[in-house]
Amino acid sequence: MTALPQSTERRLGLVIDLDLCVGCHACAVACKSWNAGGMAGPLTDESPYGAEPHGIWFNRVHSYTAQRPEDHGAPLTMHFPRSCLHCENAHCVTVCPTGASHKRRSDGIVLVDEDKCIGCQLCAWACPYGAREFSAVEGVMKKCTLCADRIDNQDLPPADRQPACVMACPTKARLFGDLADPDSEASRYAAQRGSVDLYGELGYQPTNRYLPPKARPAPTAAVNETEEEVQAEQLPPLLKWLDRVLSR
Partner 1 sequence: MIEIKKTTCYMCACRCGIRVHLQDGQLRYIDGNPEHPVNRGVICAKGASGPMQHLSPARLSAPLRRVGPRGSGQFETISWEEALQTVSERLGRIRQDDPDRLAFFTGRDQSQALTGWWAQAFGTVNYAAHGGFCSVNMAAAGLYSIGGSFWEFGEPDWEHAKTLWMWGVAEDHDSNPIKLGLSKLRQRGAKIVVINPVRTGYGALADEWIPIRPGSDGALALALVHELLRTQRVDLDYLVRYANAHWLVIKAPGHAHDGLFARDREGRPLCATGGEHVPQLVAADTPEISPLLIGEVRLPDGLDALPVFQLIVERYLQPEYAPEAAAKVTGIPAARIRALAAELARIAFDEAIELAQPWTDVYGRRHESMTGRPVAMHAMRGISAHVNGFHTCRALHLLQMLLGAIDTPGSFRYQPPFPKSTPPPNRPGSRRGADGRLDAAPLGFPQSPEDLLVDEQGQPRRIDHAYSWAHPLAVHGMLHTVIRNAWAGDPYPIDTLFLFMANMSWNSAMNTAQTIGWLTDTDQASGEYKIPFIVYSDAYASEMVAYADIVLPDTTYLERHDGISLLDRPISDADGVSDAIRQPVIEPDRDVRGFQSVLLDLGARLGLPGMCNDDRSPTYPGGYAEYLWRHQRAPGVGTLAGWRGADGQAQGKGEPNPEQLKRYIANGCHWHAEIPAAGRYYKMANRDYLNWAQQLGLLPGEPGTAEPIVMQLYSETLQRFRLAAQGHGRVQPEDALRSRVERYFDPMPIWYPPFESQTAAAAGYPLAALTQRPMFMYHAWGSQNAWQRQIATRNYLYVHPQTLADAGLQSDDWAWVISQHSRIRVQVRASDTVEPGTVWTWNAIGKRRGAWALDRNAPESNDGFLLNHLISDQLADQPLANADPVTGQAAWFDLRVRLEPCAEAEQGVEPAFEALASPPTGIKAPALLRFGAKLRQRWEHES
Select 159 or 201, whichever has its Cβ closest to partner 1: 159
The least distance separating partner 1 from the CB of residue 193, rounded to whole angstroms, comes to: 10
Select 47 or 106, whichever has its Cβ closest to partner 1: 47
Rounded (5°) CA angle 230-234-239:
135
Collapse the DSSP code of 138 into the 3-class scheme (helix H, G, I; strand E, B; otherwise coil) and give the result.
coil
User: What number of other Cβ atoms are within 10 A of residue 207's Cβ?
Assistant: 27
CA-based end-to-end distance of the chain: 81
Select 5 or 42, whichever has its Cβ closest to partner 1: 42
Select 122 or 141, whichever has its Cβ closest to partner 1: 141
Closest by alpha carbon to 170, among 36, 32, 29, 60? 29
Q: Are 105 and 139 in contact (CB under 8 A)?
A: no
Select 55 or 128, whichever has its Cβ closest to partner 1: 55
The least distance separating partner 1 from the CB of residue 135, rounded to whole angstroms, comes to: 10
Q: Are 13 and 146 in contact (CB under 8 A)?
A: yes
Q: Are 180 and 209 in contact (CB under 8 A)?
A: no
The least distance separating partner 1 from the CB of residue 186, rounded to whole angstroms, comes to: 15
The least distance separating partner 1 from the CB of residue 55, rounded to whole angstroms, comes to: 6
Select 38 or 108, whichever has its Cβ closest to partner 1: 38
Give the CA distances from residue 37 to residues 32, 34, 162, 227, in Å, rounded to whole numbers and listed in that order: 9, 6, 16, 65
The least distance separating partner 1 from the CB of residue 133, rounded to whole angstroms, comes to: 12
The least distance separating partner 1 from the CB of residue 109, rounded to whole angstroms, comes to: 16
The least distance separating partner 1 from the CB of residue 33, rounded to whole angstroms, comes to: 5
CA-based diameter of the chain, in Å? 88
Select 76 or 120, whichever has its Cβ closest to partner 1: 76
Closest by alpha carbon to 81, among 210, 227, 220, 246? 210
Q: Are 184 and 177 in contact (CB under 8 A)?
A: yes
The helices-and-strands tally (H runs, E runs) of the chain is: 7, 11
Rounded (5°) CA angle 112-82-133:
35
